[in-house]
Amino acid sequence: MSEDDPHKHKWFHDHLTPDLTLLHSIREVTYSGQSKFQSIDIINTNSFGVCLVLDGKIQSSEHDEFIYHEALVHPAMLTHPEPAKVFIAGGGEGATLREVLAHRSVKQVTMVDLDREVVDVCRRFLPSFHQDSFDDPRLELQFADARDFLEKNKDSFDVIILDLPDPIAEGPASLLYTREFYHLVKQRLDPEGIMSVQAEPASYHDLQEFAAIANTLKSVFPVVRVYQTHIPSFASMWGFITASAKLDPAGLAAEEIDSRIAARLSRELKSYDGYTHVAMFNIPKHIRQRMAATERVSTDQAPISAY
Amino acid sequence: MSEDDPHKHKWFHDHLTPDLTLLHSIREVTYSGQSKFQSIDIINTNSFGVCLVLDGKIQSSEHDEFIYHEALVHPAMLTHPEPAKVFIAGGGEGATLREVLAHRSVKQVTMVDLDREVVDVCRRFLPSFHQDSFDDPRLELQFADARDFLEKNKDSFDVIILDLPDPIAEGPASLLYTREFYHLVKQRLDPEGIMSVQAEPASYHDLQEFAAIANTLKSVFPVVRVYQTHIPSFASMWGFITASAKLDPAGLAAEEIDSRIAARLSRELKSYDGYTHVAMFNIPKHIRQRMAATERVSTDQAPISAY
Amino acid sequence: MSEDDPHKHKWFHDHLTPDLTLLHSIREVTYSGQSKFQSIDIINTNSFGVCLVLDGKIQSSEHDEFIYHEALVHPAMLTHPEPAKVFIAGGGEGATLREVLAHRSVKQVTMVDLDREVVDVCRRFLPSFHQDSFDDPRLELQFADARDFLEKNKDSFDVIILDLPDPIAEGPASLLYTREFYHLVKQRLDPEGIMSVQAEPASYHDLQEFAAIANTLKSVFPVVRVYQTHIPSFASMWGFITASAKLDPAGLAAEEIDSRIAARLSRELKSYDGYTHVAMFNIPKHIRQRMAATERVSTDQAPISAY
Amino acid sequence: MSEDDPHKHKWFHDHLTPDLTLLHSIREVTYSGQSKFQSIDIINTNSFGVCLVLDGKIQSSEHDEFIYHEALVHPAMLTHPEPAKVFIAGGGEGATLREVLAHRSVKQVTMVDLDREVVDVCRRFLPSFHQDSFDDPRLELQFADARDFLEKNKDSFDVIILDLPDPIAEGPASLLYTREFYHLVKQRLDPEGIMSVQAEPASYHDLQEFAAIANTLKSVFPVVRVYQTHIPSFASMWGFITASAKLDPAGLAAEEIDSRIAARLSRELKSYDGYTHVAMFNIPKHIRQRMAATERVSTDQAPISAY
């Protein structure tokens, strides 16, 4: 069978919505397992290279994970004047951690992931994602529910980054997108600090969760900024949000972003720079209007669910 | 069978690349036919409403065609100080025409489409796309090959808009993306005029044709500007390019765009405004770098092919 | 797009089991509608021609419906010495009717279908299936639930043929495969008569309903005979069963079948003859053993469900 | 994700014809590799268990391979009065070998497979298929092209079994289904011997290769018998053919088959017995007629090709 044979025979079916499914041809299934919390696959796709797949959903892909992780981490980190203590919830691939550690100001990172098996599988099969970040002495890694952890641990952080799986009804992250949880995050955030969150699809036809997460954060924080970028392996624009008492990434000009990157990071970035920042924070009119029409807030009583 | 039944039974398979296929569940197939040039389907999808499908590829969808057509038309039209004579190649849905006619300055539109059957089908089944634009007295509609037409007809135009199907090897649009054709377009463009072109996918994993079209235009025109926006029904960022002797949309500020829209258009737009303009013309770093690495130019001898 | 293009773009997805889906490329969707009882599609497939599809399941296809309908009708009809009065439940395509009417002995056929829209659509779009059988003066056609009809109508029949859709939980045919219903059928069957029933997939990996229907009939009738034939458009062996007080098709030799066909039918058959009869009633060992291992009986309290 | 989740995410796409694709949900991909000759996958499907997949086509599945292998081996073996020397071409799973070795009369088996990697992978991952048959002292295993081998090796055999992959244009088995090759097989067959061959799909909509192989064998051998059985994992009836100077399995009665099995085999069979034999050798009328309409013969000059 030739490489170009249209009759590829192994496919990953990504059920984007009940009416849209994206099929990725598979080069190799490297690992398949079932942890206490979810199914875990490492799938090498022909389009996007090696992917981490949890419960049937791509979490990130070798070819474009840098777009996602740079977008999640750097707007918040660079808006803060000098982030030293950082908290990461989720992020089992180690790539969010990798981006955080690239900031020279960082002294300590507390990372809490629910599922030790996910982290073990990623450490073994995704070396280009974590790039040995798990061995960095600044890291404290814990396996726990992030909400439990933050309730018990009274530390305060300069930046808190929520890199969590989709909020699914009855799923493990369902209560990590609610107003009550964001109140807890606010208590653990330094008053001068800032948080950022991956916030689900942000495409015109599929942005209800993005809008609801934005509303929920606005019910807790004074300054909330939504932004978006295109993640090819998700076949969608993807939403991110920062929230803080005062810090506002949207106020930073392209040149300021470029100069902070140059001054504060230990290496070049691949996706995020001044132009990218401007593209991300300028939301097209039809997206703004559709988001404005959504009033939903996520609460412990009535949490949002991605599908 | 309930609306939410995961076991939908009619699906449109959009073969995005040899390794990626997007499945859309079908509500109804309204029309299927075969013209002299291509297969034509009108498919009502559950995700994006009624779609025009030519040779198995979605050309535009009821729910998001406005994003595409506003992006294709308005940057060029608003950069020109007072467009009166406009040429459209392709655009059988009538939606590019609809956007052009919204400019009060327009006195005459010459639209040339190869396939009379496509236009007939669109007039009949896509009223929300053309909104009776085909009846506007400013329109002169011709059924011909756009290259033949421009070779024979020596008129000069303020704005030329190329809304053509994918360049496929041996396909009818194959020679409408080449250096030689763009030279012809330049001859028919007023020296103070500007052209714009739909320029294929512009996603990080799939932008070779976009880059090649940009290179080809740069080999002909002094000022070439690439921009992109997300089209959900294409499951991709989509590329557009303007080319001219002097006119430069990238130099226009958001406020200037908003004020020109207010002054010169006969109705509100749904997607394009100042913020959208800024988002479209600021290309993320990883896209810029990958495009810069492509040297391909399309020529009559060696035209590009989308697949 | 060429006829052989592997990238066909319209597909019918037949969900055979939760783990097996058969995709048929679509030439044309001729009709789609929703009746009071079910969704109705007439789909012209490239493999099997025009198909009737109810609630997403192929009921029969132009190219191979004759295999199914001859198998359902003739073993029972030819085992009876001289069938004059026949009852058909379901069979909206009119093809079961067509086969019954080919028997010269038949004086009267009572056909009861639940859904008038199905019959109307079939009369209009499936002329090669019914071949104007609906106009035969021997036919009395009623639109009603077959169970209701048989409860109220005390007529007696020589042959009763059940050509019903899959038994689906809460579906309209759910209670037409139960012991209680078969008791009612027995009451309406002449003591010298015989019934036959379409009895769901009969493939080694998917025969639980077939086995249960056989068990259920055995709990009501003294002589029950299972048989099977391959229906390509169902991608499966298909099961049929006769039941009676005394009549036994399995006891008939190939030559006897051929001579009864010649003597009693008004035209040639395309699939059913002596050899076919022998092939159908000799069940392979692995099928016999797996059926023997199933003890399930379908009752009004606990009816079987196909999926 | 529950076991019953309709949104399974890994699927094997079996391209049965250009217009029919069967999707099997995947439990696990156990092995994927590329030999000198073909791609090799061991895929554990939810419907049929562990499958050997060569160049994207299922060769046999854990749940139903016994149907195929018993059908291929035993009619020829039991028709022969006392098979001692047997030749197998192909059959890398070791299951054809397993069935041959169950005959007590067998003294020597020569098995020739082209691809050592296939055999190595099967020995490692398919123990239930070969059941250690490769360790039987009666076996001589060679890795070579079967046609080359038979040209050089002048031995004579009682039974020759061809268990070869599909004849694909330019593929390795393309010239192992031709008249010229069957002449060579005839020279290596004892005059009192018999051969059998797997002969491709035998479903009403897809039997051109089956018919052509039968025609080709008839151009070489005096007695040729076609038969068929349903293989669920192939979603098709499957064709087999015996050919010989005199031996005729179709002449054997069910009781004779049962008594030969009891007398000559060292264990019980799971699928093949007297009734199964009768079902297999009685070909339905519509299949007989369509086969009779095919005149194609496969030759080295113009070999048949499955797709």
| Contact assessment for residue A217 and residue B210, using Cβ atoms and an 8 Å cutoff | no
pLDDT above 70 covers what percent of chain B?
97
- Give the mean pLDDT of B210-219: 98
Interface test with B, best of C4, C8, C10, C46 (most B CBs within 10 A): C10
The structure tokens 């020589």 sit at C158
Mean pLDDT of all residues in B226-253: 97
Q: Are residues D243 and D96 part of one domain?
A: yes
Query: Residues of B at the D interface (Cβ-Cβ below 8 Å)?
Result: 6-7
* Backbone Cα Rg of chain C: 18
Return the partners of chain C (3 or more C-beta pairs < 8 Å).
A, B, D
Q: What is the pLDDT of residues C259-271, one digit of tens each?
A: 999 999 999 999 9
Partnered with residue A20 across adjacent β-strands are A17, B24
Q: Residue range C115-124: average pLDDT?
A: 98
CB contact under 8 Å between D7 and B6, yes or no, is yes
- Is pLDDT at C288 greater than 60 in this prediction? yes
Q: Look at residue D203 and give its three-state secondary structure.
A: strand
Of D61, D83, D102, which residue sits at a domain end? D61
pLDDT 10s per residue in chain A (307 long)? 444 455 699 999 999 999 999 999 999 999 999 999 999 999 999 999 999 999 999 999 999 999 999 999 999 999 999 999 999 999 999 999 999 999 999 999 999 999 999 999 999 999 999 999 999 999 999 999 999 999 999 999 999 999 999 998 888 898 999 999 999 999 999 999 999 999 999 999 999 999 999 999 999 999 999 999 999 999 999 999 999 999 999 999 999 999 999 999 999 999 999 999 999 999 999 999 999 999 999 999 999 998 6
Catalytic, out of D163, D206, D273, D300: D163
Work out whether strand C39-45 and strand C49-54 pair parallel, antiparallel, or are unpaired: antiparallel
What is residue C5's predicted lDDT score, i.e. its pLDDT? 57
Q: With contacts defined as CB-CB under 8 Å, which chain B residues touch A276?
A: 282, 284-285
- In degrees and rounded to multiples of 5, residue B85 shows phi and psi of -110, 120
CA distance D18 to chain A (A): 9
Q: In terms of residue numbers, what domain contains C70?
A: 65-292
pLDDT band at C3 (very low <50, low <70, confident <90, very high): very low
Last residue of a domain, one of D46, D61, D76: D61
Closest-CA distance of chain B to residue A233, Å? 9
* A8: nearest CA partner in chain C: C6
- The one catalytic residue among A155, A163, A166, A190: A163
CB contact under 8 A, B286 and A237: no
Whether residue A304 is contained in a domain is answered as no
Q: Which of these three, B44, B61, B78, is where a domain ends? A: B61
Contact assignment for C13 to B8 by CB distance below 8 Å: yes
Give the closest-approach CA distance of B304 to chain D in angstroms: 28
Q: CATH number for the domain including C233?
A: 3.40.50.150
- Per the model's pLDDT, the better-predicted residue between A70 and D307 turns out to be A70
Pairwise CA distance, residues D180 & D169, whole Å:
17
| Residue D304 belongs to some domain of the structure | no
Task: Give yes or no: residues A218 and A101 share one domain.
Answer: yes
pTM: 0.92
C-D CB pairs within 8 A amount to 139
Same domain, D247 and D149: yes
- Rounded Cα gap, residues D174 and C62, in angstroms: 34
Asked if A180 and A250 sit in the same domain, the reply is: yes
Distance CA D7, CA C19 (A): 10
Please compute the mean of the pLDDT values over residues C86-110 and round it to a whole number: 98
| Burial degree of B286 (CB within 10 A; 0-12, 13-18, 19+) | buried
Mean pLDDT, rounded, of chain C: 96
> Among residues C105, C162, C95, C99, which one has the least CA distance to residue C129?
C95
Pairing between β-strand C189-201 and β-strand A236-244 as defined by DSSP bridges: unpaired
Residue pairs between chains A and B whose CB atoms are closer than 8 Å: 139
Residues in C closer than 8 angstroms to B29, CB to CB, are 10, 26, 28-29, 32
**Domain check: are B73 and B57 in the same one?**
no
- Residue B50 CA, chain-centre distance (Å), reads 18
Instruction: Verify that A36 and A149 share a domain, yes or no.
Output: no
Confidence of residue C172 (pLDDT cuts 50, 70, 90): confident
ipTM at complex level: 0.95
Percent of chain A predicted with pLDDT > 90: 94
A74 burial (CB, 10 Å; 0-12 / 13-18 / 19+) is buried
- Residues in chain C with CB shorter than 8 Å from the CB of B7 are 13, 15, 56
Is residue C153 one of the residues assigned to a domain?
yes
Q: End-to-end distance of chain A based on CA atoms, in angstroms?
A: 37
What is the number of structural domains in chain C? Answer: 2
Residue B21 and residue B128 share a domain: no
Using the beta-carbon criterion (under 8 Å), do A56 and D9 form an inter-chain contact?
Answer: yes
Q: Closest Cα of chain C to A28: distance in Å?
A: 20
Residues 6+ apart with CB under 8 A from A275: A254, B282, B283, B284, B285, B288
Contacting partners of chain B (3+ CB pairs under 8 A): A, C, D
Nearest CA in chain D to C17: D47
> What spatial distance separates the first Cα and last Cα of chain C, rounded to whole Å?
37
Q: Compute CA distances B261 → A248, B272, C134, whole Å.
A: 29, 9, 64
Q: Are residues D175 and D100 in the same domain?
A: yes
| Residue C218: pLDDT band with limits 50, 70, 90 | very high
Contact D11 A15 (CB under 8 A): no
Query: Closest approach of chain C CAs to the CA of A170, in angstroms?
Result: 23
pLDDT confidence tier of residue B170, bands split at 50, 70 and 90? confident
Structure tokens at A81: 């004047």
Residue showing tokens 């704005």: B159
- Provide the 10 A C-beta neighbour count for residue A156: 13
Residues of D with CB under 8 A from a CB of B: 6-7
Rounded-to-integer distance, Cα A143 and Cα A116, Å: 6
Q: Is residue A6 part of a domain?
A: no
C305 or D2, higher pLDDT: C305
Sign of the CA dihedral running B29, B30, B33, B35: negative
Same domain, B223 and B237: yes
In this prediction, residue B5 has a pLDDT band, given cuts at 50, 70 and 90, of: low
**pLDDT tens-digit map of D122-146:** 999 999 999 999 999 999 999 999 9
Check B8 against C11: CB less than 8 A apart.
Answer: no
In a domain, B5, yes or no: no
**Cβ atoms of residues A61 and A50 within 8 Å:** yes
Instruction: Give domain status of residue B239, yes or no.
Output: yes
In terms of residues, how long is chain B?
A: 307
Binned at pLDDT 50, 70 and 90, residue C98 comes out as very high
Q: pLDDT at residue D71 above 50? A: yes
* Residue C213 Cα, gap to closest chain B Cα (Å): 24
pLDDT band at B105 (very low <50, low <70, confident <90, very high): very high
Top residue of C1, C5, C9 to mutate, by most chain B CBs within 10 Å, is C9
Q: Are residues A158 and A22 in the same domain?
A: no
B171 pLDDT exceeds 90?
Answer: no
β-strands C85-90, C157-163 pairing:
parallel
D242-274 tens-digit pLDDT: 999 999 999 999 999 999 999 999 999 999 999
Confidence band of D172 (pLDDT split at 50, 70, 90): confident
C6 vs A contacts (CB less than 8 Å): 6-7
Residue D5 in any domain: the answer is no
Distances (CA, A) of A45 to A232, B208, D226: 13, 20, 43
Q: Is B13 within 8 Å of C14 when comparing Cβ atoms?
A: no
Q: Do D134 and D195 fall within a single domain?
A: yes
Q: Are C101 and C122 in contact (CB under 8 A)?
A: no
C49 and C166 together in one domain = no
B232 touches B272 (CB < 8 A): no
Does the beta-carbon distance from B7 to D7 stay under 8 Å?
A: no
With a pLDDT cut of 90, the percent of chain C lying above it is 94
pLDDT at B272: 98
DSSP state of D103: B
Which of D4, D29, D52 should one mutate to test binding to chain A, selecting the residue with the greatest count of A CBs within 10 A? D29
Contacts of A6 in chain C (CB under 8 A): 6-7
**Statement: residue B2 has pLDDT above 50:** no
Q: Is B248 a catalytic residue?
A: no
Closest by Cα among B63, B139, B64 to B100? B139
Residue D6 has pLDDT above 60, yes or no: no
Question: What are residue D87's DSSP bridge partners?
Answer: D110, D160
| Chain A: touching chains (3 or more CB pairs < 8 Å) | B, C, D
CB pairs under 8 A between A and C: 3
**Packing angle between helix D179-188 and helix D208-218, nearest 10 degrees?**
50
| Count of other CB atoms within 10 angstroms of residue B29 | 22
Average pLDDT value for residue range C30-57: 96
CA–CA separation, B128 and A174 (whole Å): 40
Q: Is residue C50 within 8 Å of residue B45, measured between CB atoms?
A: no
Residues of chain C found within 8 Å of residue D210, distances taken between Cβ atoms: none
D276 to C270: CB separation less than 8 angstroms, yes or no: no
**Interchain CB distance below 8 Å, C12 and B9:** yes
Q: Return the pLDDT at D5.
A: 57
| Complete edge-to-edge strand list for the sheet that includes strand C85-90 | C139-143, C108-113, C85-90, C157-163, C189-201, C236-244, C223-231
Does the pLDDT value for residue D89 go beyond 50? yes
CATH number of residue C19's parent domain: 2.30.140.10
Q: What does the pLDDT read at residue B306?
A: 83
Q: For residue A24, is it within any domain? A: yes
The predicted structure's pLDDT at residue A168? 87
Residues of A in contact with B272 (CB under 8 A): 285
Compute the average pLDDT of residues C103-128. 98
Non-local (6+) Cβ contacts of A130 within 8 A are A93, A94, A95, A97, A98, A122, A123
Shortest alpha-carbon distance between residue B6 and chain D (Å): 7
**What does the H/E/C string look like for chain C?**
CCCCCCCCCEEEEEEEECCEEEEEEEEEEEEEEECCCCEEEEEEECCCEEEEEECCEEEEECCCHHHHHHHHHHHHHHHCCCCCEEEEEECCCCHHHHHHHCECCCCEEEEEECCHHHHHHHHHHCHHHHCCHHHCCCEEEEECCHHHHHHHCCCCEEEEEEECCCCCCCCCCHHHCCHHHHHHHHHHEEEEEEEEEEEEECECCECHHHHHHHHHHHCCCCEEEEEEEEEHHHCEEEEEEEEECCCCHHHCCHHHHHHHHHHHECCCCCCCCHHHHHHHHCCCHHHHHHHHCCCCCCCCCCCCCCC
